[in-house]
Amino acid sequence: MAEIIEMPKLSDTMTSGTLVKWLKKEGDTVTNGDKLAEVETDKATMELENFEDGVLLRHYVGEGEEVEIGRPVCAIGEEGEEAPDAAGGGEGGPSEAAAGEETAGKEAASPTEEAAPESPLIPAEPAAETTASTGRRKISPLARKLAEEHGIDPARLTGSGTNGRIVKADVEKAVAEGVPAASAEPAPASAPTAPARESVREIGPPPAPAPTPVPQLESREEPVSNMRATIARRLLESKTTIPHYYLEIEVDMGPLLDLRQSINAGLADLPPEQGGARFTVNHFFLKACAEAIRRAPAINSTWAGDKVIRHGEVHLAFAVAVDEGLVTPVIREADRKGLRQIAMEANELTGKARQKKLTPAEMSDSTFTLTNLGMFGITSFFGIINPPNAAILSIGATVEKPVVVDGALAVGRRTTLGLSADHRVVDGAVGASFLQALQTVLESPSVLLV
């Protein structure tokens, strides 16, 4: 009897996952512990682990499809066994699976079609895209029918109905105002006029009358990825529900940069087994924050509605820009770790972040967050608080500037630090004492080494 593998809940907030890539093909022999597929959740790309022994009989979903928790993704059984229909639950299940099958079939067949030059007019409508774009989008039955009639891809519409459901009025508006048709294939040369297009204006580069020397920007609409949706939801919630206030302090980075240079000079060229390492300014900031929080612990809190949680550990999150947005991996118990340990963990987490391999656990439970735009030359800014933190530190670029030292003009190396704090938990004086502690630690950085 074949086992139907369903989409598991891979994170607390996950409601669906996108099957990014199949790692096992239909017909592959699989054993307990194999990775079946890569799944993108709202937080990370994770591997779908297999617990069955047998043969992967059938994929119920194609790559790129979004799958709700509990819906079937594949079947595993004995060799030669027929895969059951995906009877995994509510409406639309089996038919979706069937659509996926059909898609796979068409894809498999397409090379043959392409290889037949005498039949260039075979409709090249990308079935996979149609399936994916109409998949789980909320659209009223009537609007769906109208969109199909007008050749409009519902993925490109914005719904005005309840919960963003696309309704008749939205389709009619799109027809009137113009939205690209679902099939955006160029018209065959033998058919210079395309009457079906008359009412549907395409967004895109207009046919250029003469070759343009400069590449032009193109208008397009992109579906919202899980990560983008999570960022949007969390930051909107933060900025609209947390009373942010902002403090700024300038730090003399001279001593820290000298210290870093001296440490790197001694360690960077050594092999790892002899303690070789290379430290970035960020590593020092992370360590300095952990140290400063020890000195001004009230910043390390959470507003929980009817109570304030004062955290007993410092879990430092730091923002890492990735292709589609950003993630905030967490160094746990940073207050109990040395600079070397923090640097090592930060490097590992940053690498995982860029490959979208962070696990939800590696992004959970932060108590304070750092963000740094210094590498872009931004001198000062204020990040949005990363809930449930009470504050976020924004690190600007270190710049050389004239400063007055002991009554004389000198060249200083200065960084401006911004603190955005939640006034429900952290009053101005508390935020200020934290920044002051941080300034002290950064300007006397040798304390970071003990």
Partner 1 sequence: MPEITYRQAINDALAEEIERDENVFVMGEEVAQYNGAYKVTEGLYDRFGEDRIKDTPISEAGFIGMGIGASMLGLRPVMELMFWSFSYVAFDQIVNNAAMVRYMSGGLTHVPIVIRGPANGGTNVGATHSHTPENFMAHTPGLKVVCPATPYDAKGLLKTAIRDNDPVYVMENTLLYGNKGEVPTEEYTIPLGHAQVLREGRDVSLIGHGRSILTALEAAGHLAGEGIEAEVVDLRSLRPLDIDTVLASVARTHRVVLVDENKPFCGVSAQVSHMIQEEAFDELDAPIRRVTSLDAPAIYSDPLEREQLPNPRRIQEAVQQVLEDAPRAAG
The interface region with partner 1, picked from 99-107, 125-133, 159-167, 341-349 by CB under 8 A, is 159-167
Q: Is 221 in the site for partner 1 (CB under 8 A)?
A: no
Q: Is 296 in the site for partner 1 (CB under 8 A)?
A: no
Report d(CA 239, CA 337) in Å as an integer: 32
B/e letters for 343-358, b = 16+ CB within 10 Å, e = fewer, are bbbbbebbebbeebeb
Among 10, 167, 289, 385, binds partner 1 (CB under 8 A): 167
- Give whole-number Cα distances, 162 to 39, 91, 140, 165, 331, in Å: 29, 20, 10, 6, 41
The interface region with partner 1, picked from 24-32, 156-164, 197-205, 322-330 by CB under 8 A, is 156-164
Q: Is 173 in the site for partner 1 (CB under 8 A)?
A: yes
Among 162, 190, 212, 240, binds partner 1 (CB under 8 A): 162
Q: Is 136 in the site for partner 1 (CB under 8 A)?
A: no
**Minimum CB distance to partner 1, residue 137 (Å):** 15
Active-site residue identified among 283, 311, 315, 423 = 423
Report d(CA 358, CA 362) in Å as an integer: 6
Tokens in use for 322? 């990735």
Among 98, 116, 169, 229, binds partner 1 (CB under 8 A): 169
Q: Which is nearer to partner 1, 33 or 141 (CB)?
A: 141
**Minimum CB distance to partner 1, residue 12 (Å):** 30
Which of the 8 DSSP states describes residue 362? G
Q: What is the DSSP code string of 251-265?
A: EE-HHHHHHHHHHHH
Q: Is 141 in the site for partner 1 (CB under 8 A)?
A: yes
**Minimum CB distance to partner 1, residue 152 (Å):** 15
Among 18, 140, 238, 371, binds partner 1 (CB under 8 A): 140
Name residues whose C-beta falls within 8 Å of residue 312's C-beta, 6 or more positions apart in sequence: none
Among 67, 99, 143, 231, binds partner 1 (CB under 8 A): 143
The residue among 289, 245, 296 whose CA lies nearest residue 422 is 245
**Minimum CB distance to partner 1, residue 94 (Å):** 17
Q: Are 315 and 367 spatial neighbours (Cβ–Cβ below 8 Å)?
A: yes
- Give whole-number Cα distances, 179 to 167, 168, 277, in Å: 15, 15, 54
Q: Is 355 in the site for partner 1 (CB under 8 A)?
A: no
Tokens in use for 105? 């079939």
Name residues whose C-beta falls within 8 Å of residue 157's C-beta, 6 or more positions apart in sequence: 139, 147, 166, 170, 171, 174, 179
Q: What is the DSSP code string of 199-259?
A: T-PPPSPPPPSS--SS--------PPPHHHHHHHHHHHHHHHHS-EEEEEEEEE-HHHHHH
**Minimum CB distance to partner 1, residue 55 (Å):** 38
Among 78, 107, 172, 185, binds partner 1 (CB under 8 A): 172
Verify whether residue 244 is a known catalytic residue: no
**Minimum CB distance to partner 1, residue 151 (Å):** 17
Among 13, 160, 355, 444, binds partner 1 (CB under 8 A): 160
For the chain, report the end-to-end CA distance as a whole number of angstroms.
61
**Minimum CB distance to partner 1, residue 148 (Å):** 10
CB atoms within 10 A of CB 196: 12
- Scan residues 56-115 and list those touching partner 1 (CB under 8 A): none
Q: Is 142 in the site for partner 1 (CB under 8 A)?
A: yes
Position 414, amino acid: R
- Cα-Cα-Cα-Cα dihedral of 226, 388, 279, 336, to 10°? -130
Q: Which is nearer to partner 1, 144 or 340 (CB)?
A: 144
Residues in contact with partner 1 by the rule CB under 8 A: 140-145, 160-162, 165, 167-169, 172-173
| Active site members | 423
